[in-house]
């Protein structure tokens, strides 16, 4: 059984860009431990020499022309979806 | 109770109008408010569309196969007239700038969307209790869950608010609530219906389908929605067309691993009753074995969280959706936005996904699950060499109590144990009403077919419908 420490959960939260509260960290530590405990049973299955399946209908790469497809959606509409915009651009907090 | 064809006929004959059908649906939506099946009602746009359709009918125009028929879309379909929330705080105020292809196709045939249905936030769940806006109640017993994640869509169909509703099904999210509310639920072959404009959950198993009162209505809705879409490269060339006639003497296999002691006795009785109906209609039903199915839920809860963690990475508070206030740095903005915008189940799945995809664990979990998936697909292929259709219960129990499973995620996941395996293999599967428990809770039977045999599944269900 995989044991998930509080530090592990904190690390996973960081990988997932989730800033969790202390209470959330506690309950997720329990839940994630239990879920990993459940899915571990898959290790029993012998899959030697078996190819993985990522796509179920046998599709290969689907190509289209490298051309701009026009839509009815305007730049103004797209910008309006953002909480903050200025000068035709989306505004974000300081990066550096 | 109105079926689609009743409504179309009423409007055509002049006995009714699109406006009066929409007003009627809106009135039903209000009078069934206590079930909390709808997150929004798009009355203004619906009535405008109804008047436009009535005017075109008056002019003698052909308005389409669904002219004036009201419907409801699960609130993870982008649609005009109300925000598309995915039942989350993240998208609470998101006004979609475009509509889902499925919604567009239905509107082109004259259908009118009157509202958006409740779901588990981002479709993560099996009871609609993970909605950020509160759960939906079961249509037959308000102390029970609606099922999920498309709980609201199932309940509005069962309560006759509308004759059909749209849902999404990634691991059972149409079939299980259909079973819990006594309506027909269709999950098509992976790739049959475009997912463009639908909030993505797990891209390798997400499908779009419908809830209806009977099979003929389901055939009609799926016929309209199916087909290739340049905006969804995973769509298959259109292969779906309702069958005029079912090939007699279908060979059906009932999967014995789905009828163990872990399954509720009344569920088993109703499933066996349905099997007798199939036999009486001239089909053969044998017991078959699919031993690998016991690992399917473990595969699912590796593969789906992995895809969820990737698909939900886009919710960063920058371009659209919720953005946390009072933050100083970009990292803080991401972290706080996502903590505030997601419900606990979203976070569980994202973090499990991050875990199974991280270096050091990738081979043991994710790669192992994708290999196991190949074995599951091969096992189905073997059975389909002999059988046309496979049969199981839709869920091990009828609808459970509100709050009964919320403290234990694994217990909640087990409600999907019958519906997850066909999803992993991309197979079409439908949920068909098969009676009710002594307490009056509906029970459904699941019919599973080989890929691209959706029409046969529906025709088979039709051959015993109402018998």
- Give yes or no for A94 touching B (CB within 8 A): yes
Quote the CA–CA distance of B71 and A81 in Å, as a whole number. Answer: 27
**Is residue A86 domain-resident?**
no
Residues of B with Cβ-Cβ distance to A9 under 8 angstroms: 351
Inter-axis angle of helices B215-225 and B454-463, to 10 degrees? Answer: 170
List chain A residues with pLDDT less than 70: 1-2
Residues of A with Cβ-Cβ distance to B298 under 8 angstroms: 38-42
Q: Helices (DSSP H) in chain A: which residue ranges? A: 6-15, 22-39, 75-80
- Give yes or no for A82 touching B (CB within 8 A): yes
Nearest CB partner across the interface for B295, out of A9, A45, A73: A45
Q: What is the mean pLDDT of residues B154-170?
A: 98
Is A90 in contact with B319 (Cβ distance < 8 A)? yes
The whole-number pLDDT of residue B151 equals 98
Q: Which of B74, B105, B144, B187 is catalytic?
A: B74
Residue of A nearest to B302 (CA): A39
> Is B93 a known active-site residue?
no
Mean of the per-residue pLDDT values of chain B: 97
% pLDDT > 70, chain B: 100
Torsion-angle region of A17 (φ positive above 0: left; ψ -120 to 50: alpha; else: beta): left
**Is residue A60 domain-resident?**
no
**Is residue A90 domain-resident?**
no
Nearest CB partner across the interface for A32, out of B189, B309, B352: B352
The whole-number pLDDT of residue A64 equals 84
Residues of B with Cβ-Cβ distance to A78 under 8 angstroms: 97, 319
The whole-number pLDDT of residue A95 equals 80
Q: What is the mean pLDDT of residues B3-12?
A: 96
Nearest CB partner across the interface for B190, out of A34, A57, A64: A57
Q: Are strands B112-117 and B70-74 parallel, antiparallel or unpaired?
A: parallel
| ipTM for the assembly | 0.95
Quote the CA–CA distance of B134 and B87 in Å, as a whole number. Answer: 9
DSSP-based three-state secondary structure for B367: helix
**A30-to-B115, B348, B400 alpha-carbon distances in Å:** 38, 11, 24
Query: Picking from B34-38, B203-207, B411-415, which range would have the lowest pLDDT averaged per residue?
Result: B411-415
The whole-number pLDDT of residue A94 equals 82
Q: Which domains does chain B have, with CATH numbers?
A: 1-467 (3.90.1300.10)
Q: Measure CA B278 to chain center.
A: 25
**Is residue A91 domain-resident?**
no
CA distance, residue B352 to nearest chain A CA (Å): 7
In the block, residue with structure tokens 């809770």: B441
The whole-number pLDDT of residue A33 equals 94
Q: What is the mean pLDDT of residues B427-450?
A: 98
* Full domain range(s) for residue A15: 6-44
**Is residue A64 domain-resident?**
no
Is A18 in contact with B369 (Cβ distance < 8 A)? no
Residues of B with Cβ-Cβ distance to A23 under 8 angstroms: none
Residue of B nearest to A52 (CA): B371
Site from B188, B351, B422 to mutate, A interface, most A CB atoms within 10 angstroms: B351
Inter-axis angle of helices A22-39 and A6-15, to 10 degrees? Answer: 90
**Is residue A74 domain-resident?**
no
Residue of A nearest to B312 (CA): A16
On the CB side of B236, how many CA atoms lie within 13 Å of its CA?
17
Range 237-296 of B in CB contact (< 8 A) with A: 292, 295
The whole-number pLDDT of residue A39 equals 96
The whole-number pLDDT of residue A1 equals 56
Inter-axis angle of helices B296-311 and B344-357, to 10 degrees? Answer: 100
Residue B66: pLDDT band with limits 50, 70, 90? very high
Residues of B with Cβ-Cβ distance to A82 under 8 angstroms: 318-320, 323
The whole-number pLDDT of residue B257 equals 97
Quote the CA–CA distance of B129 and B405 in Å, as a whole number. Answer: 10
In the block, residue with structure tokens 């419907």: B71
* Count of structural domains within chain A: 1
The whole-number pLDDT of residue B450 equals 98
Residues of B with Cβ-Cβ distance to A17 under 8 angstroms: 313, 316, 331, 334-335, 338
**B389-to-B32, B417, B459 alpha-carbon distances in Å:** 37, 19, 11
Quote the CA–CA distance of B345 and B348 in Å, as a whole number. Answer: 5
- Give yes or no for B94 touching A (CB within 8 A): yes
**Is residue A71 domain-resident?**
no
**Is residue A18 domain-resident?**
yes
> Is B289 a known active-site residue?
no
Q: Which of B16, B131, B149, B163 is catalytic?
A: B149
Instruction: Kindly tell me if the per-residue pLDDT of B376 is higher than 90.
Output: yes
């Amino acid at each position: 059984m995989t044991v998930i420490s509080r530090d592990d959960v904190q690390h996973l939260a960081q990988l997932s860009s989730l800033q969790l509260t202390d209470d959330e960290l506690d309950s997720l530590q329990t839940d994630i431990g239990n879920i990993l405990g459940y899915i571990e049973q898959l290790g029993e299955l012998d899959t030697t020499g078996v190819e993985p399946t990522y796509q179920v209908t046998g599709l290969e790469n689907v190509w289209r022309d490298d051309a701009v497809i026009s839509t009815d959606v305007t730049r103004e509409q797209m910008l309006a979806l953002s909480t903050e915009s200025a000068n035709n651009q989306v505004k974000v907090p300081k990066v550096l | 109770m109105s079926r689609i064809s009743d409504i179309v006929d009423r409007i055509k004959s002049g006995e009714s109008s699109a406006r009066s059908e929409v007003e009627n649906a809106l009135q039903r939506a209000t009078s069934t408010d206590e079930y909390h099946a709808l997150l929004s009602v798009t009355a203004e746009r619906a009535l405008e569309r109804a008047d436009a359709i009535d005017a075109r009918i008056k002019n003698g125009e052909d308005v389409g196969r669904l002219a004036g028929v009201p419907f409801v879309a699960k609130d993870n379909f982008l649609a005009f007239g109300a925000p598309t929330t995915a039942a989350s705080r993240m998208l609470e105020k998101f006004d979609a700038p475009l509509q889902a292809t499925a919604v567009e196709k239905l509107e082109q045939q004259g259908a009118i969307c009157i509202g958006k249905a409740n779901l588990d936030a981002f479709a993560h769940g099996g009871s609609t209790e993970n909605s950020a806006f509160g759960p939906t109640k079961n249509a037959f017993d308000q102390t029970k869950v609606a099922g999920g994640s498309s709980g609201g869509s199932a309940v509005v169909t069962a309560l006759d608010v509308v004759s059909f509703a749209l849902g999404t099904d990634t691991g059972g999210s149409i079939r299980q609530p259909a079973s819990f509310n006594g309506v027909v639920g269709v999950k098509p072959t992976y790739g049959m219906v475009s997912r463009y404009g639908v909030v993505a959950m797990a891209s390798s198993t997400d499908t779009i389908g419908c809830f209806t009162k009977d099979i003929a209505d389901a055939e009609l809705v799926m016929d309209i929605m199916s087909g290739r879409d340049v905006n969804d490269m995973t769509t298959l060339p259109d292969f779906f067309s309702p069958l005029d006639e079912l090939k007699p003497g279908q060979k059906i296999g009932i999967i014995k691993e789905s009828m163990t002691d872990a399954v509720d006795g009344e569920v088993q009785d109703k499933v066996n009753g349905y099997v007798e109906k199939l036999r009486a209609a001239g089909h053969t039903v044998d017991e078959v074995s699919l031993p690998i199915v016991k690992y399917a839920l473990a595969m699912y809860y590796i593969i789906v969280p992995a895809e969820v963690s990737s698909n939900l990475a886009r919710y960063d508070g920058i371009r659209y959706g919720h953005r946390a206030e009072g933050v100083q740095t970009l990292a803080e903005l991401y972290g706080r936005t996502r903590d505030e915008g997601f419900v606990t189940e979203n976070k569980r799945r994202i973090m499990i996904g991050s875990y199974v995809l991280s270096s050091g664990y990738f081979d043991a979990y994710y790669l192992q699950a994708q290999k196991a998936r190949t074995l599951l697909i091969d096992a189905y292929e073997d059975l389909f060499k002999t059988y046309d259709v496979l049969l199981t219960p839709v869920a091990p129990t009828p609808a459970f109590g509100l709050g009964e499973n919320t403290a234990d995620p694994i217990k909640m996941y087990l409600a999907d144990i019958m519906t997850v395996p066909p999803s992993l293999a991309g197979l079409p599967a439908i949920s068909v009403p098969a009676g009710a428990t002594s307490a009056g809770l509906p029970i459904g039977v699941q019919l599973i077919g080989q890929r691209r045999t959706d029409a046969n599944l529906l025709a088979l269900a039709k051959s015993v419908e109402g018998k």
